[in-house]
Copies of this chain bind each other. A is one copy, B any other.
């Protein structure tokens, strides 16, 4: 089977940075999974003894805690600092920005809209920086705006870093028509765009498309949706073990892309396997 990689795929800047931080802090523990990739987390555990706290209550105050790339809620960070735990911050700088925007805008009496998934750790963290969290409204689609009661007429809007830009504009446009001022922050990460654009192009020109990434990774799911639109034979896998040989019957060219938290060694394993078919 012939294989073609997307012109842009895999690890983004924030993930590369977080893994470096974890490797330097051998024996530390992350607050929540460092990135959305179980295989890479296991590698860090095996090779660098990096532990994992699922919850703030599990933390040993005398340990070193690494803040995950997606950030954590403001009060969890406060708790860690109050109990004098050594904190190493691996929050992606592109996530720190929306956290600070929410803090500043709510202090300036703007109602806040976050375009994102309410349950995603990044969004939970960002939302927690609002002065009044009841006036920080998370919407995952434009229709949800209709039900919101804003405290102020001035709105500030931000987006989860991995969200789709066109959908963000839809939400923003609805807000602009209804409010006298909308302060729009474009917090969507370029790396996400680049992987998405490359996946869009490649999936139009192959017989089968493989998307490698964590199934709970927001940006991986978006890549998968984009590919599926262009190529019916698109499959989302976490690693080479998920590959089903039957998918490749009568196919000639296989495109491959990977989410922002998929390490190169997993991608290489998948490429090797598919090339051998």
The contact of A186 among B165, B169, B179, B186, by CB within 8 Å, is B179
Question: Which residues of the partner chain B approach A184 to less than 8 Å between Cβ atoms?
Answer: 172, 176, 181-184
State which of B176, B180, B181, B185 has its C-beta within 8 Å of the C-beta of A181: B185
Selected contact of A173 from candidates B169, B179, B181, CB within 8 Å: B169
- The yes or no answer to A24 lying at the interface (CB within 8 A) is no
CB distance from A21 to the nearest CB of B (A): 25
Contacts of A172 in B (CB 8 A): 172-173, 176, 184
Chain A interface size band reads 10 to 19
Closest Cβ of chain B to A95, distance in Å, is 14
> Residue on B with the closest CB to A172?
B176
Contact with B along A156-180 (1 / 0, CB 8 A): 0000000001000100110011011
Judge whether A185 and B180 touch: CB under 8 Å: yes
Question: CA separation between A183 and B182, bound complex, in Å?
Answer: 6
Cα–Cα, bound, A134→B176 (Å): 26
Copies in the complex: 2
- Distance in angstroms between the alpha carbons of A62 and B186 in the assembled complex: 53
Cα distance A31–B179 when bound, in Å? Answer: 33
Q: Which of B169, B177, B179, B180 contacts A176 (CB 8 A)?
A: B169
Contacts of A180 in B (CB 8 A): 185-187
Q: Which residues of B contact A176 (CB under 8 A)?
A: 169, 172, 184, 186
Chain B neighbourhood of A177, CB < 8 A: 165, 169, 186
Inter-chain CA distance A184–B185, complex, in Å, is 11
Kindly identify which residue among B165, B183, B186 contacts A183, using a CB–CB cutoff of 8 Å: B183
A-B contact pairs, 26 of them (CB 8 A): A165-B177, A169-B173, A169-B176, A169-B177, A172-B172, A172-B173, A172-B176, A172-B184, A173-B173, A176-B184, A176-B186, A177-B186, A179-B186, A180-B185, A180-B186, A180-B187, A181-B183, A181-B184, A181-B185, A181-B186, A182-B183, A182-B184, A182-B186, A183-B183, A183-B184, A184-B184
- What 4 additional pairs, Cβ within 8 angstroms, besides A169-B177, A172-B173, A182-B184? A169-B176, A172-B176, A180-B186, A184-B184
In the A-B complex, the 10 residue pairs with the closest CB atoms: A182-B184, A183-B183, A169-B173, A176-B184, A181-B185, A176-B186, A180-B186, A184-B184, A165-B177, A169-B176
